[in-house]
Structure 1
Amino acid sequence: MPPLEKLEPEFPIIDADFRRFCASLGIFSVEDFLVHDVSKVVALAESKATSKVLKEGIAQILSIIDGQHQPWLNGVDLLNNTTQNKHFLPTGCEGIDMLLGGGMREGQLTEIAGPSSSGKTQLCLYVASHVADKHMGGVLFLDTCNSFSPRRIACIVSQFSNSSIREVKELRLKRIMSGIFSQSIYDIFALLDVLHQLEFKLNHKVTSETANVCLLIIDSISSLITPILGGNSSQGRLMMVSAGYVLKKLANEHNLAVLVTNHMVGGEGGILKPALGESWKSIPHVRLLLSRDQGSRLCNISVLKHTSVASGRAAEFLITDGAA
């Protein structure tokens, strides 16, 4: 569901005046209505001179939301959808794939949290390379902190390439790189805009890069969200929840595996914990904690949250050189 400003051509009632009223309440998209008390929004509209027009706009938004509701599915339908459409997407890291029972699940949002220099970015680059190589599926890499590096991908590909023929290696690298699409984004507004554009492209199959996409990576989600949190305003938290909602919706409706990274912050007693707080904690289907000793290539990954794997289970794997 798009930002409100994108709706005006089709729904003139959602004009600049209506959007200013919504913005005063921290509402910038249709999703934002889902986390607001609609009765309070209507009550505030009634206190305005243009209450009739504002209430008509609210009614229009609610009708759009109603039109987006998915039909109820019974247990058999849900099981069939999972087994037929929500496949495992191996990461290429044997320890991780064994821990997760096969890899990342399509239709789910997976978070990798870890301190600085634990290897989050290098793992994302490795997973992107492996998926583009082995699964012939497109990878979308949203780069929030200049972490995407074609040179590092080339290094990764050379390390898991068995061929000694230079021409074959170069062709393989070209094929893998052609399947990875990267875009730099630096704030939450740009992220929401990119996600809504992606949703439109996936729904209408308008571009080749999204035709067979199976993996969306955001490195890192916390770099975009942390600046808007804090203070007494709830707007930042609402935008964070909206972003999480869109990511999960994209994953479920288009059978994508979504992978995001998150940094760590100090908790009670100085113990590190994933950033972004309790509101974000409930959003990922899977949360993994990545760690490694300084200077070591041996990484440890443990389950913080999973739909079918017990919390606390852990595995080790070796990461390639040049980890971030």
Structure 2
Amino acid sequence: MNTNRPLDELGFPAVVISRLLESDFVSTDDVQNLQPAELGSATGLSLKESAEVVRLVSATSISEPQDVLQIIEDESDIPHIVTFCEAIDTLLGGGIPLRAITEISGTPGIGKTQMCLQVCVSVQVPVSVGGVGGQALFIDTEGSFTSSRIKDMASHAVHHVQSISTDNPDAATFTVESILKGIHYFRCHNYIEVLAVIRHLPTLLQSHPNIRLVVIDSVAFHFRHDFSDNVARTGLLCQMTHSLIQLAGSHNLAVIVTNQMTTKIENSGSSQLVAALGETWGHCPTLRLSLHWQHHIRVATLIKAPHIRTSSVNFQVTVAGIRDISSGSVTQNMAEAQNSKKRKWTSDDS
């Protein structure tokens, strides 16, 4: 149902309508997602007048209810981005889902960024080969993006796709060069720049309609270090998440955010590692995937997901990217785990 309506049909005073039209606000869609202060700044309306406009527009934008059968059918049709690790794809119900926010948390070196880089490559697998044929946007807050690593993953992905689809013309156009061109990159040095990029996303998605993946690596970095007021931080995070989930739904794309870990002290005095940013943030992502070490093997645990049972699987990070684990790779994973611990001890001593 199309709920877009001309603003002059909503019964606003003539002076308000005049200000809106002069500022190119013609329909309810033009006002959607704006805060009163933003509308007032753009039109010259008072804060009270702007708040009333936003309130009435929101009230007229409520669509007709859906029946539950339609909801189930819609959810069953949601595409997924494969990770090239069958165990993780099965864990997630087919891969990273579009129209949702997936959080990936874990300690340094466990593979969060590697997972993001892998999905930036695999989102571009052609539809005819079982992919979604999209592009990716990578918002880098920690400087962890490595173009040479992307190139390695792309090379192996191209080899795999072309080896299983020798007669498919779409597979022939899936090249390392096309993959590198299909990843758009922003480096953000503070939370203001992160919010600015997210605010710019609707415009960017209009000019790049094939983007099917937005990655923020990591969402925690600036929001943990640049804020002393946790309430203000939580408010901004919730607003940001609301904007992202709307974009995910309206543009049929997946959002991945990585998160750091922090130590939570229990009332008993014991402690445990948990995802950062607090319990309120924990309700924001649609899915939450936790990566951790267990007996020198990387483990992915699904800790939150609608309609999917919580469980864990093993995986590995190889030269090719994120892959299923095999018995022959256990020794390699043990060595990587030991090296990771040595780096942590060195960092703690310095």
Q: Taking structure 1 as the reference length, what is the TM-score of the superposition?
A: 0.75
- Cα distance, 1:249 vs structure 2: 1.3
**Cα deviations across residues 91-131 of structure 1 (Å, max 9, x unaligned)?**
22222101112111111111111011111111111111122
Q: How many residues align?
A: 273
- 1:75-94 equivalences under 5 Å are 75-84=68-77, 86-94=78-86
Match of 1:121 in 2: 113
In the alignment, structure 1 residue 192 sits paired with structure 2 residue 195: yes
Match of 2:220 in 1: 222
- 1:61-140 equivalences under 5 Å are 61-66=54-59, 68-84=61-77, 86-134=78-126, 135=131, 136-140=133-137
Inter-CA distance 220–187: structure 2 relative to 1 (3 Å threshold): same
Is the contact made by 2:118 and 2:150 (CA closer than 8 Å) also made in structure 1?
yes
In the alignment, structure 1 residue 141 sits paired with structure 2 residue 138: yes
Inter-CA distance 67–186: structure 2 relative to 1 (3 Å threshold): farther
Identify which of structures 1 and 2 has the higher relative contact order when contacts are C-alpha pairs closer than 8 Å and 6+ apart: 1
- 1:301-312 equivalences under 5 Å are 301-311=300-310
Q: CA RMSD in A?
A: 3.0
**Cα deviations across residues 36-80 of structure 1 (Å, max 9, x unaligned)?**
xxxxxxxxxxxxxxxxx4422321332343355444322233234
- 1:167-316 equivalences under 5 Å are 172-202=175-205, 205=206, 207=207, 210-231=208-229, 234-268=231-265, 269-292=270-293, 298-311=297-310, 313-316=311-314
Inter-CA distance 58–162: structure 2 relative to 1 (3 Å threshold): closer
Q: For residues 61 and 171 of structure 1, what CA distance do their matches in structure 2 show?
A: 45
Match of 2:331 in 1: none
Q: For residues 65 and 148 of structure 1, what CA distance do their matches in structure 2 show?
A: 39
Ranges in structure 1 where 5+ consecutive residues have no aligned partner: 14-52
**Structure having the higher Rg:** 2
Q: For residues 2 and 183 of structure 1, what CA distance do their matches in structure 2 show?
A: 24
- Cα distance, 1:238 vs structure 2: 0.8
Is the contact made by 1:132 and 1:180 (CA closer than 8 Å) also made in structure 2?
no
Is the contact made by 1:94 and 1:317 (CA closer than 8 Å) also made in structure 2?
no
SS of the residue 1:123 aligns to: helix
Match of 2:39 in 1: 7
Report percent identity of matched pairs.
27
- Cα distance, 1:158 vs structure 2: 2.9
Ranges in structure 2 where 5+ consecutive residues have no aligned partner: 1-32, 164-170, 322-335, 341-350
SS of the residue 1:267 aligns to: strand
Inter-CA distance 93–2: structure 2 relative to 1 (3 Å threshold): farther
Q: Taking structure 2 as the reference length, what is the TM-score of the superposition?
A: 0.70
Q: For residues 235 and 273 of structure 2, what CA distance do their matches in structure 1 show?
A: 24
**Cα deviations across residues 197-226 of structure 1 (Å, max 9, x unaligned)?**
212444xx3x1xx21111111110111321
Inter-CA distance 147–3: structure 2 relative to 1 (3 Å threshold): farther
Inter-CA distance 198–226: structure 2 relative to 1 (3 Å threshold): same
